[in-house]
């Protein structure tokens, strides 16, 4: 339980943007929205900080860094 936030229920929704490069389809951007967490109001700032810095420790994001733009955010509640 990092930063006092229980990860149970965490879900990631990824969306890739593909462009034609010559005759080849190439992934240019990936956006991941995270949801499913029950974050207490007093932990929201910590969760936001974790999201803001998570790419630095994510093996996938680090592996494709420079070739594919990766952005993250929170999935709409509901």
Domain extents for the chain? 11-36
Q: Specify the length of the chain in residues.
A: 78
Mean pLDDT of 38-42: 90
Q: What is the mean pLDDT of the chain?
A: 91
> Does the pLDDT value for residue 27 go beyond 90?
yes
Q: Calculate the CA dihedral of residues 53, 62, 70, 29 and round it to 10 degrees.
A: 180
> Does the pLDDT value for residue 19 go beyond 80?
yes
State both tokens at 36: 């499913």
Using alpha carbons, select from 32, 39, 35 the residue that is nearest to residue 58.
32
């Amino acid at each position: 339980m990092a930063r006092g936030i229980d990860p149970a229920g965490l879900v990631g929704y990824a969306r890739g943007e593909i462009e034609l490069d010559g005759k080849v389809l190439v992934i240019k951007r990936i956006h991941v929205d995270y949801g499913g967490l029950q974050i207490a109001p007093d932990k929201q700032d910590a969760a936001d900080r974790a999201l803001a810095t998570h790419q630095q420790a994510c093996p996938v994001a680090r592996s494709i860094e420079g070739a594919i733009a990766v952005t993250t955010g929170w999935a709409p509640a509901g």
